Amino acid sequence: MNTFSIAIHGGAGTLVKGIMTPDLEAKYRADLKNTIDQGYAILEKGGTAIEAVEQAVKILEDSPLFNAGKGSVFTATGSYEMDASIMDGNTLNAGAVSLINGIKNPISLARDVMEKSEHVFLAGDGAMQFAKQLDYKLEDDAYFYDEFRHKQWLEIKDTDSFQLDHSTKKDSKFGTVGAVACDKDGNTAAATSTGGMTNKKWGRVGDSPMIGAGNYANNKTCAISCTGSGEFFIRGVVAYDVACLIEHKNLSLREASEEVINNRILELGGDGGLIAVDAKGNIAMPFNTEGMYRGFKTSRGQEEVSIYK
Ligand code: ASP
């Protein structure tokens, strides 16, 4: 039987230990562990990689600790605009949504775009009409509200600045969430979901819903979910770049993902990290920031939940 495995992230950045209380850190660790265990249980029962990554991301979206679903950051007008994408490494089918609001689990809408529409990417009002047609229940803004993120927004509201989740002048943290998995049949999948950046305007969309930039899966090479400064990850076509280095330069999963995160994206000026899995269940989780909320579990008995380097 193929080694099966799952890896997740809850964002990368300057996760300075000093601003994290022991209590809060325990909450983050508990949510990450619970997410891995539930995703892994799906794979163990013979579920598909797509099922596992969707479920893992839903759990992270439901936690207010992360910038996706409940707890998403505020836009310049005080609203929520969420982005998500999912890709099946076996069929190369993909689905993505951006600039949506009121949807409890954006990742499920992305999966529905993949499976129930002729399209790959639906945005804004159109994506909302699609959700309505599928009878999605809409949550009001109060459901997504998180006091900490509201305070963050009030600090820069009415200015031209926009910032990554939890960033202060010096410290930044990206709270996007993602999952990658390889199932018992050796099929891979990737899923990514985010509220984007605090105080973003003009319909700004980052890398998370963009296939090839923030999310990609192909059994031939790897499945990837990214977190970081989206503008740079888009320009670096980061997720697909890792796959290309494996396919065309014969690099291993680890070599390819480290090359992109520690060299190529840094040279462009971007920071962040990614999680990656291949069809043999190998995992890599490089990041060029101080920390990245992350975890993984494999059928070889390896398991880890970590935050800092
Ligand atoms: N990559 C996301 C974006 O630019 C942010 C993040 O990773 O938290 O929207």
Residue ranges of the domains in the chain?
A: 5-308
* Residue 176 a catalytic site member: yes
Strand order in the sheet with 272-277: 215-218, 222-228, 272-277, 283-284
CA distance linking residue 136 with residue 118, whole number of Å: 19
Chain center to CA of 253:
19
What is residue 155's predicted lDDT score, i.e. its pLDDT?
Answer: 84
Residues 6+ apart with CB under 8 A from 131: 100, 103, 109, 112, 138
Q: Which residue among 82, 163, 174, 215 has the greatest number of ligand 1 atoms within 8 angstroms of its CB, and so is best to mutate? A: 174
Provide the 10 A C-beta neighbour count for residue 28. Answer: 18
Residue written as tokens 């076509």? 237
Question: Is 6 in a helix, a strand, or coil?
Answer: strand
Is domain 5-308 in CATH 3.60.20.30, yes or no?
Answer: yes
Q: Nearest Cα to 292, choosing from 89, 7, 4?
A: 7
CA distance linking residue 155 with residue 73, whole number of Å: 13
Residue type present at position 179: A
Nearest C-alpha to atom 8 of ligand 1 is from which residue? 174
CA distance linking residue 3 with residue 301, whole number of Å: 10
Residue ranges of the chain whose pLDDT lies below 70: 15-19, 162-173
pTM as predicted: 0.95
Pairing of strands 121-123, 291-298: unpaired
Q: How far is the CA of 244 from the centre of ligand 1 (A)?
A: 22
DSSP state of 81: -
What is residue 158's predicted lDDT score, i.e. its pLDDT?
Answer: 78
Write out residues with Cβ below 6 Å of ligand 1.
Answer: 11, 67, 164-165, 174-176, 194, 196-197, 206-208, 214, 227-228, 230
What is residue 14's predicted lDDT score, i.e. its pLDDT?
Answer: 73
Structure tokens at 121: 């990417």
Question: Is 256 in a helix, a strand, or coil?
Answer: helix
Atom from ligand 1 closest to the CA of residue 67: 8
What is residue 168's predicted lDDT score, i.e. its pLDDT?
Answer: 47
Length of the chain: 309
Contact by Cβ (8 Å): 266, 283: no
CA distance linking residue 215 with residue 272, whole number of Å: 14
Contact by Cβ (8 Å): 151, 200: no
What is residue 172's predicted lDDT score, i.e. its pLDDT?
Answer: 58
Q: How far is the CA of 81 from the centre of ligand 1 (A)?
A: 12
Chain center to CA of 199:
20
Q: Exactly one of 14, 75, 176, 188 is catalytic; which is it?
A: 176
